[in-house]
Structure 1
Amino acid sequence: MNHEAPYTVEEIAEQVSTLAKQLHAAGRKDLLLKAIGAPLLEELRIEASKAKLSRLIITEDYRFILADYQKEIELQPVHKAVYLLFLAHPEGIEFKRLADYRDELIKYYTATAKGLDRDKIIEGVDHLVNPLDNAINEKCSRIKKTFLDMMDEYTASYYIISSHTQKHFEGSNRIWYERLKIITLPRELVVLLHN
Structure 2
Amino acid sequence: MNELLTPEERALEVKRLVNQLQAEGRTDLLLHAIGVPLLEELRIEAAKGRLSRLVITKDYRFILEDYQKEVELQPVHKAVYLLFLAHPEGIEFKRLFDYRDELLRYYMATGKMMDKEKVIESVDHLVNPLDNAINEKCSRIKKVFLDLMDVYTASYYIISSHTQKQFSGSDRIWYQRLKNITLPRELVIDYNR
TM-score by length of 2: 0.81
Q: Does 1:134 align with 2:139?
A: no
Please name the residue that 1:85 is paired with. Answer: 83
Cα deviation for residue 83 of structure 1 reads: 0.2
Please name the residue that 2:172 is paired with. Answer: 174
Please name the residue that 1:118 is paired with. Answer: 116
Instruction: Give the letter for the 1:185 counterpart.
Output: L
Cα deviation for residue 69 of structure 1 reads: 0.7
Unaligned runs of 5+ residues in structure 1 are 1-5
Cα deviation for residue 119 of structure 1 reads: 1.5
Once the two structures are superposed, the pairs formed by residues 1-195 of structure 1 within 5 Å of their partners are 10-11=8-9, 14=12, 27-29=32-34, 48-171=46-169, 173-195=171-193
Instruction: Give the letter for the 1:120 counterpart.
Output: K
- Give me the whole-angstrom Cα distance separating, in 1, the residues matched to 2:30 and 2:125: 54
- Give me the whole-angstrom Cα distance separating, in 2, the residues matched to 1:151 and 1:76: 19
- Give me the whole-angstrom Cα distance separating, in 2, the residues matched to 1:93 and 1:147: 20
SS in structure 1 at match of 2:51: coil
What is the RMSD computed on CA atoms of the aligned residues?
Answer: 2.8
Is the 8 Å Cα contact of residues 44 and 152 (structure 2) preserved in structure 1?
no
SS in structure 1 at match of 2:164: strand
- Give me the whole-angstrom Cα distance separating, in 1, the residues matched to 2:136 and 2:146: 15
Please name the residue that 1:3 is paired with. Answer: none
Is the 8 Å Cα contact of residues 47 and 152 (structure 2) preserved in structure 1?
no
Per-residue deviation, residues 63-99 of structure 1 (Å, max 9, x unmatched): 0000111100000000000000000000000000000
Instruction: Give the letter for the 2:162 counterpart.
Output: H
Cα deviation for residue 173 of structure 1 reads: 1.6
SS in structure 2 at match of 1:191: strand
Deviates more, 1:177-186 or 1:112-121: 112-121
- Structure 1 segments (4+ residues) deviating >2 Å: 6-22, 24-30, 44-50, 169-172
Percent identical pairs in the alignment equals 71
Cα deviation for residue 155 of structure 1 reads: 1.0
- Give me the whole-angstrom Cα distance separating, in 2, the residues matched to 1:127 and 1:56: 28
TM-score by length of 1: 0.80
